[in-house]
Structure 1
Amino acid sequence: MSPATPPTHSTRLPAPEDPGTLPLPPAAFPDPGVELLRGAFYAQRPGSRPLSMDLWLPRDRGAPVPVVVFVHGGGWRIGRRDDLGPRFRAWQPGPFARIARQGIAVACPDYRLSAEATAPAQLEDLSDALAWLGARADEIGVDPGRTVMWGESAGGHLAALAALTAPTAPTGPTAPAAGTETGAASGSVTVRGCAAWYAPSDLTNFGTDHPKERFDPRDPDSSEARLLGVPPAEDPEHALAHSPVGRVAPGAPPFLLMHGDEDRTVALHQSVRLAEALHAAGAQADLRTVPGGDHQWRALPEEDVLSCFTTTVDFFHDRLGTPA
């Protein structure tokens, strides 16, 4: 007799819950005038961890408030969504609370790191984050038609990609003021600008200006290779496709680019290239070179760090039509 065939069982795993229908996290109030929704679940792709965002909101919201979407750095390998860098960790109140107290919401999303997925996964995650903000805007009390992207280092690279990919508003000296026509349908996201601090913009030519630092475009263990899934020199077209300079086109939103002239991690010429590409496309690009500034504003006097922050927040007010 042949052995009996064991019975087969089919196990169907439950589908991930729809982040568009899950309740928002409970509100916390970390500083006067600030409401914090920490860990709002916004996306989950099969085989990946759930992705969340923190929402720093003005506590007393009458009309919907504009929103800045902040993208953290960390070489695409590491980083926390709520971290602007070591120079800001001791600030009380913190940088996002300070912005919220000025009438602007700040959304800080997770994204998949390079050990979890290669490009374009990170840009897809930010697109999901923007779509979630648009879908939940009425519930949260934000105006997605007045959105600005912001990021530092690798996060600046991703913020720039998102700004150059998302729907944008007609350029002009300022965005419409609160309570006026935003130019976007209810629930739709319109990116009105992007601020990028010491960000990579051209992964095909990432070399440093510092003679003591070396970059090998064929190194498979570089942060850029891990993001792309291949060393940049082995597939320059792929590297350019995932570089902000490769995405610039007429109609790009205005950019504020801030970069130290002593940056030993991401060379100043990365921001110079992006500014040149934006100008060539007829877009606005304000490049601010920070004298003595290293990566993450290391070694800058505290008053200069504060000036970088204040200049950036002024840019937000200008683009979002809010009073400074």
Structure 2
Amino acid sequence: MPSILEVDFAQPVGFRPLSLDLRTPDAAGAPLIVFLHGGGWLRGSRKVFTPGISDAESFDRIVAAGVAIASCEYRLSGEARFPAQLDDVDAAITWLREHAAEHGVDASRLVLWGVSAGATLAALTGLRRDDIRGVVDWFGPADLFTMADHDMGDPPDQTREARWLGAPAGESSDAARAASPALQVHVGAPPFHISHGTADEHVPFRQSEILVDSLRSVAAEVDFHPVEGGRHFWQGTADTGPLFDAALQFVHRITR
């Protein structure tokens, strides 16, 4: 079992300290994944990769493949609205770039990996920085305007996205655009590995199709993996091992 280094990487003024867990393989000079958890920006924990998937199947599997992984907190929507979460991800990357080498990790070979809401943050961060090797996006919202049309039974001002932005997308169009990875794509975007279940009831599969189309429109590298019948957080998927293996193959390739 890999050792876990728990550190506070930032304390935004007026907020709680933010922490990360750094897991490292035995070999020195490992590439680094910065992992961002899901939970609709309103809940979730850095301690859980994906609900229903054990540490052995996720964090430990990644470390066993020779890759370090830092699972990072960010402020939730009940604490701070967008874009505070992007500031938190930047702070985690800054700490890792300054200290990862002390723990045998090569933070110059850094890949972002997020699930659901965390995938949105990973994608946005990868698109706004020029020092990211690539992004692994698992079933993340990509266009908050079309997400607003996805009825989950919540009042418009109480959806996950509205709580994060501070108002429904149609009432906060500038923020919604800035928070939508598909609308922030540009020439020179980093490589993306995108995986999404076709039966996802929380984040429609169409969200990843929109992001893929946007990335391909600027000739960005996209590794797209639709998972037939897959639901949110891979519920109903009997074996998630191949999904991790495909993402790790992407990570190894772009961090050589």
Give the aligned partner of residue 160 of structure 1: 123
- What's the CA shift string for 1:92-127, capped at 9, x where partnerless? x34212211222100111000000000000011001
**Is this contact kept in 2: 1:42–1:53, CA < 8 A?**
yes
Listed as ranges, the matches of 1:114-153 within 5 Å are 114-153=77-116
Q: Following superposition of structure 1 onto structure 2, how do residues 1-324 of structure 1 map, counting pairs within 5 Å? A: 31=1, 34-37=2-5, 39-61=6-28, 64-89=29-54, 93-167=56-130, 190-206=131-147, 214=151, 219-302=156-239, 305-321=240-256
Off by >4 Å, runs of 4+ in structure 1: 215-218
Structure 2: how far apart are the matches of 1:96 and 1:215? 30
1:131 is displaced (CA, Å) by 0.8
Letter in 1 for 2:124: L
Give the equivalent residue in structure 2 for 1:16.
none
Please tell me whether the aligned partners of residues 41 and 117 of structure 2 are also in contact (alpha carbons under 8 angstroms). Answer: yes
* Partner secondary structure for residue 88 of structure 1: coil
- Could you tell me the TM-score, scaled by structure 1's length? 0.76
Query: For the Cα contact (< 8 Å) 2:57–2:241, is it kept in 1?
Result: no
1:200-228, CA deviations, whole angstroms, 9 ceiling, x for partnerless residues?
000111157xxxx7258971111100100
Give the letter for the 1:43 counterpart.
Answer: A
CA distance in 1, matches of 2:253, 2:25: 18
Identity %: 39
1:139: Cα distance to partner?
1.5
Question: Alignment partner of 1:252: what SS?
Answer: coil
Aligned mates of 2:252, 2:39 — CA distance in 1? 27
Contact preservation (8 Å) 1:254, 1:283: yes
2-structure distance, mates of 1:97, 1:308:
15
- TM-score, normalised relative to structure 2: 0.95
Is the 1:206–1:215 Cα contact (8 Å) retained in structure 2?
no
Unpaired runs of 5+ residues, structure 2, are: none
Structure 1 Cα separation of the partners of residues 151 and 27 of structure 2: 50
Q: Cα RMSD over matched residues? A: 1.7
SS in 2 for 1:199: coil
SS of alignment partner, residue 136 of structure 1: helix
Tell me how far apart the structure 2 counterparts of residues 294 and 117 of structure 1 sit (CA, whole Å).
29
Q: For 2:162 and 2:24, how far apart are their aligned partners in 1?
A: 37
SS of the residue aligned with 1:253? coil
Q: Which amino acid in structure 2 is aligned with residue 53 of structure 1?
A: L
Q: Which has the higher helix share?
A: 2
Using the alignment, how far apart are the partners of 1:217 and 1:88 within structure 2?
A: 27
Give per-residue Cα distances to partners, 1:143-168, cap 9 Å, x unaligned: 1210100011001111111111122x
Write the deviation string for residues 64-88 of structure 1: whole angstroms up to 9, x where unpaired.
2210111000000000102122231
Asked whether the equivalents of residues 33 and 111 of structure 2 are also in contact (C-alpha less than 8 Å), the reply is yes
Cα drift, residue 320 of structure 1: 1.3
| Structure 1 CA distance for aligned equivalents of residues 238 and 138 of structure 2 | 17
